[in-house]
Amino acid sequence: MDDAVAWSRDRLLAWSDFQAEFNPAAPEDAHSAIRFRPTWTVDSDSRQDEIMFLLKDLRLHTEFLPLLSWVRPTQSGDTILLHERGRFDLAELARRETANLQRDFENRLFPTRGKNEEQRKQYAREDSARMIAVKIEVVMREFGRRSAEYDIQTDFGRDVSWQTKYDDTFAHLRS
């Protein structure tokens, strides 16, 4: 069962969302597991005796994974929660600024392979998933880079001045 929490301007993370058992060997006091999950449909079109596929309704969702996220019980204070909420917002910001899947894929035709209609449909699903996965890797790398910078600049939320600067940026996502 997937209990992912989709990013929403109306939904803030709470400590109750961090459901995994904490890792005593980890240096950090909390861990937020975040993913970018795509959804799309594949359609096909014939062009000059060649079957082409196109992607429709392409969306990329930023999701928090409660069953993989944890907090050290002795550290579950407001400062760290605010910082982890910021990490989720940072992921959404990275998605918005890095992933333009509609521009890259929608309203474009891509060739497909296969000897019959059923094979072509299967290959179109596989090929589109592979193309989208490459773009998601770019978003993940950018989020990873920004997340490391966020932790350093804010000293994991302890530097109030830097954390406030980030919080002001994140507030624009919720307005």
- Is there a contact between 9 and 174 (Cβ–Cβ < 8 Å)? yes
Label residue 1 by pLDDT band (50, 70, 90).
Answer: low
Label residue 93 by pLDDT band (50, 70, 90).
Answer: very high
Residue 8 reports pLDDT greater than 90: yes
pLDDT score recorded for residue 77: 87
pTM of the prediction?
Answer: 0.88
As a whole number of angstroms, the distance between CA 79 and CA 25 comes to: 21
Average pLDDT on 10-33 reads 94
Average pLDDT on 64-85 reads 94
Q: Which residues contact 3 (CB under 8 A, 6 or more apart)?
A: 19, 65, 66, 67
